[in-house]
Amino acid sequence: MPELPEVESVRRGLVAARVREPVTALWRSEHPLRIGEHWREENLDVLVGARPGAVRRRGKHIIWEFTGPTRLALLIHLGMTGRCGVAKAGAPRARHTHLALRFADDRELRFVDPRRFGGLRAGALASLNASPPLSTLGVEPLDPGFDGAALRERLGASKRAIRDALLDQTAVAGVGNIYAVEALFIARIHPLARAVRLRATAWDRLAAALVRVLEQGIENGGTTLKDFRNVVGEVGRNQDDLAVYGRAGQPCPSCGQALESFTHGGRSGVLCPVDQARPRGGWIR
């Protein structure tokens, strides 16, 4: 699933496309997308006649603002296989296209999602911000002021494994499995250590490591393990710079010990048994 760096790469691509003309028409496929009460009413027709404005990101969500009689927005969640692109209106639509939002300059925003776990929703910007899923999101790890204390405040009382706790979007927005595993390696923290047992110095290391891996991911245009593409259809480059994720059995880049895979809570990961040694107690078996 695209995480913060991948979504940020898409956001920047939409900004670079410089779409400025108002919406003239909308096409939506007959296939449903993301399941859940927050996505049931897509309300996309309200965008017809509105003019596109700023494109923002909140966690793993893209918020594209539109101006009209009221301040509107289009909320986009890429799910697992969702892609956004801007194309000429007459160009053939890719298979699994579910939205074509046409603008007065004869271009279209197209949303393609083979597995249909992505989501689309439009409405008043204030209403979208004040309701789930946006209203439930936690702190942004790339915002000023994010540090070990802020991370500890959100997760320090949790008895969950720290890797699993980091994936809680109501605590920290935008972090997924790839970047959590990478940050824990850099911070030298065992992924299955209980969050509640971490010391203040460990929280400081982890917060700094999260910022580092997320910024690296953005600089590299995201991580493409299978499906992710940016707005112009390019794959990310960050998979080439991952330290441990997907590299089980290979030498640790720090100590040379063979990296080990683990699975917990239905999600796999990789760790170094030397640099991320099991803590004495306080870890989840």
List the catalytic residues.
2-3, 60, 267
Give phi and psi for 251, each to the nearest 5.
Answer: -65, 140
Nearest to 67 by CA among 26, 110, 27, 124: 124
* Euclidean distance between CA atoms 88 and 41, whole angstroms: 28
Per DSSP, which regions of the chain are E strands? Answer: 23-28, 51-58, 61-67, 72-77, 83-88, 97-103, 107-112, 119-124, 260-264, 267-271
Q: Which residues pair with 165 in a beta bridge?
A: none
* Euclidean distance between CA atoms 51 and 253, whole angstroms: 49
Give yes or no for a contact between 207 and 142, defined as CB atoms under 8 angstroms apart.
no
| Nearest-5° Cα angle at 33, 31 to 34 | 160
3-state secondary structure of 173: coil
